[in-house]
A and B are shown apart, each in its own frame.
Chain A
Amino acid sequence: SYELTQPPSVSVGQGKTARMTCEGTNFGSRGVHWYQFKAGQAPAMVIYYDRDRPPGIPERFSGSKSGNTATLSISRVEVGDEADYYCQVWESGGDQWVFGGGTKLTVL
């Protein structure tokens, strides 16, 4: 089965830049999407198709992809950005929506 690998945790100082990676195979033209999960809230899509930002998501959130690694970056990190972040792709072989294991962002 197709797997996406994310580091379990990232810690960064307030005001600094957080970078979270998502590794897969044959990323190629697959679009990578990123979601923010906070306890007790509806999850939110923060980046779609590698680098597009939905309306209402701050410009501090950005995405990139190179080879088999996608990266979500959050600049000028705020305490309110603490959350679990998951990457997701559509896996054509099994026609599945696949999620990574998630990265817990802690703001120091």
Chain B
Amino acid sequence: QVQLLQSGTEVRKPGASVKISCKASGYTFTAYTVHWVRQAPGQRPEWMGWVKAGDGNTDYSQKFQGRVAITRDTSATTVYLDLTSLRSEDTGVYYCARAGNGWYELAHWGQGTVVTVSS
């Protein structure tokens, strides 16, 4: 079965960077796009961007352009989210999610990674 296993809790100071991983299994890794979605406390989920695991192409939400990078390692079947210049508003739960066969739906999700940004 499809599984997305994310790395553990992170605590950072403002201005620092964070890199979160998402280990995929149970399907052909290069055949699907993986997205990152974050949810700040009490807020709706917010789409950050995606990577096509096959060719590494990416697309990012304009809100995060310049601060975010999504990469993948096909040999490790792992997708990464890099977020720089962290501020307190970046505190939240970060999820990876694999697209479905129709492209627009997020069919499978990771368990989430808590990121806390605090001085």
Residues of chain A touching chain B, judged by Cβ–Cβ distance below 8 Å, are 31, 33, 35, 37, 41-45, 48-49, 54, 86, 88-90, 94-102
Asked if A97 contacts B112 (CB within 8 A), the reply is: no
Main secondary structure of the interface of A (DSSP, over half): strand
Main secondary structure of the interface of B (DSSP, over half): strand
Q: Say whether B109 faces chain A, with CB atoms less than 8 Å apart.
A: yes
* A97 and B106 in contact, given A41-B111, A86-B44, A86-B45 (Cβ under 8 angstroms): yes
Asked if B47 contacts A43 (CB within 8 A), the reply is: no
Asked if B100 contacts A45 (CB within 8 A), the reply is: yes
Give Cα A97–Cα B49 distance, bound, in whole angstroms.
9
B79 to chain A, nearest CB (A): 15
Asked if A88 contacts B111 (CB within 8 A), the reply is: no
Which chain B residues lie closer than 8 Å to A98 at the CB level?
A: 47
Nearest A residue (CB) for B50: A97
Find B107's partner among A48, A94, A95, A96 (CB 8 Å cutoff): A48
Which chain A residues lie closer than 8 Å to B102 at the CB level?
A: 31, 48-49
Give Cα A98–Cα B61 distance, bound, in whole angstroms.
10
* A42 and B110 in contact, given A48-B100, A95-B59 (Cβ under 8 angstroms): yes
* A96 and B47 in contact, given A33-B105, A49-B102 (Cβ under 8 angstroms): yes
